[in-house]
Amino acid sequence: EGYVQFSKGDDYFKVKEVWLSPEWAVSNGRAGDIALILLETPVESIEPIELASNVNYLPRYASRLYTVGCSLGYKKQSLPEVFYYYGTLTTSPYCLQLRSNRTVIWHGDSGGAVFYKDCLGDTYLVGVIASYSRFQDVVVDFTAMDVRAYFTQIKDKLGEWKG
């Protein structure tokens, strides 16, 4: 049992149910690091951003990405076009590998959203921040779970919750 608060001063919203990807439990936390939270009551004036599906193409080296996270005690949104997608690893085809030469994510940003704005100006949720890689104590890139790989599971669960 828990609560969610969207911004300072807003009401608290009780969490009714949490869904974790079944793959996450089987893999001991590596694959399928994606979850949904069902709130007990709807949140007025909040319009959800569209979930990317398999038909949404994310070009390699795309830079129209931005992140939303909560690290170092601050809720934050990155500037647009500071991160870029550089591909997937053959060992992790369900992950997006991202990096930036100008900024990094920080410990605590995990679970935050990765958004992509396409050339038509439409915004999609494409990933959920999962981890980062360090080299000589410097964050060099980060991994986000690709929501397109879980699109059917997510839509099925949302449909089940709607009834």
pLDDT score of 9: 64
pLDDT score of 147: 92
b/e 128-141 (16+ beta carbons within 10 angstroms → b): bbbbbeeeeeebeb
pLDDT score of 85: 87
The end-to-end CA distance of the chain, in Å, is 22
pLDDT score of 3: 64
Please write the tens of the pLDDT for every residue from 48-73.
889 998 778 888 887 888 888 887 77
Q: Report residues of the chain scoring pLDDT below 70.
A: 1-10, 25-31, 107-108, 138-139
Q: Closest by alpha carbon to 128, among 143, 108, 149?
A: 143
Q: Which residues contact 9 (CB under 8 A, 6 or more apart)?
A: none
pLDDT score of 155: 93
Please write the tens of the pLDDT for every residue from 15-33.
888 898 887 766 555 567 7
CA distance 145 to 45: 27
